[in-house]
Chains A and B, each alone.
Chain A
């Protein structure tokens, strides 16, 4: 056991006490510590030290193993996180593209580009044509140039108009 530093002690005590008081205090402390030197505590038994060393070796081994496993798990977790982040990014891009295609299928470009929707949509064009024909027949009937049962023909035409109208809105 190395002796404690009396110079350091004297300086310390002089911060709080007068020089004489500090001198006395240092002597008291040194004399007290001398008692501890004269009555040494027992040393640990060699078998106790051997047991501690064996325990410490096992704990150190387990500890380093746990650290290695924790390190590997951390690396694996980091890799999984990076991969999932990349996959999410790719998925988002893919989803965006499909969304654009879906939007295109719902709203065909010809709607925006066409000047005459009725002419460019085949269904609408055929409906329009049928309506025009019926209108023409109605005019003919109203002008009296049509021969035959005119009441029945008008009802038939009206029914046909209602049917076409209904089909048109059904799509």
Chain B
């Protein structure tokens, strides 16, 4: 766990383009961001790709970070990357439907992927997947980003009461599913 002072130094170094500081940034955030992507996708390979994309984007955008919660900034980008992935998946699905050409459908790809990783997915992942996508993302974001409800509500552009209520209901349901 990096202290806020260390984090400040890492960010300053990254802004100067210091490769060592980027390496430290990866060490500081890779675990949490990987957990975030893994819990959202349930797929290790895909999480690897999304994690790599996240750090490339952090390098490209570090100059635009103007202070405030760095975690909030990082997880906002992570969330954008995940939603970009979902949109791309949807486009791909529509394209296959439109062309009616099926060398391998998206469902088959997902099924193959699931077969490969099914035995590795833990019970929690299975129950998380039964929640609606928005609640699942909220629970995952809150747990892995460690952001305050105020930051999460701001990131999701919704009132804090809505965020609290959704998280409460979601975690309660998850607990019921796990029992």
Contacts and interface: CB of A to CB of B under 8 A. Distances in A.
Most central of A16, A28, A45 by chain B CB within 10 Å: A28
A39 B55 CA distance: 25
Interface in A35-92: 35-36, 38-45, 48-49, 51-53, 55-57, 59-61, 63-64, 67
Q: Is the interface of B mostly helix, strand, loop or mixed?
A: helix
A56 B51 CA distance: 11
Contacts, number: 114
Interface residues on B, range: 35 or more
B132 to A, nearest CB: 15
Interface stretch (A1-9, A109-117, A148-156): A1-9
B44 interface: yes
Q: Is the interface of A mostly helix, strand, loop or mixed?
A: helix
A16 B110 CA distance: 41
Nearest to B47: A44
A113 B15 CA distance: 74
A63 B59 contact: yes
B123 A32 contact: no
Interface string B100-125: 00000000000000000000101111
B174 A60 contact: no
Most central of B1, B30, B39 by chain A CB within 10 Å: B30
B10 interface: no
26 contacts: A1-B143, A2-B146, A12-B160, A12-B164, A16-B161, A16-B164, A16-B165, A25-B168, A29-B167, A35-B124, A35-B178, A41-B34, A41-B38, A42-B44, A43-B34, A44-B47, A45-B48, A48-B48, A48-B52, A49-B26, A49-B30, A53-B22, A53-B26, A55-B55, A60-B22, A60-B59
5 tightest A-B CB contacts, nearest first: A32-B171, A64-B17, A39-B124, A41-B35, A44-B34
Interface of B: 1, 14, 17, 19, 22-23, 26-27, 30-32, 34-35, 38-39, 44, 47-48, 51-52, 55-56, 59-60, 120, 122-125, 139, 142-144, 146, 148-149, 160-161, 164-165, 167-168, 170-172, 174-175, 178
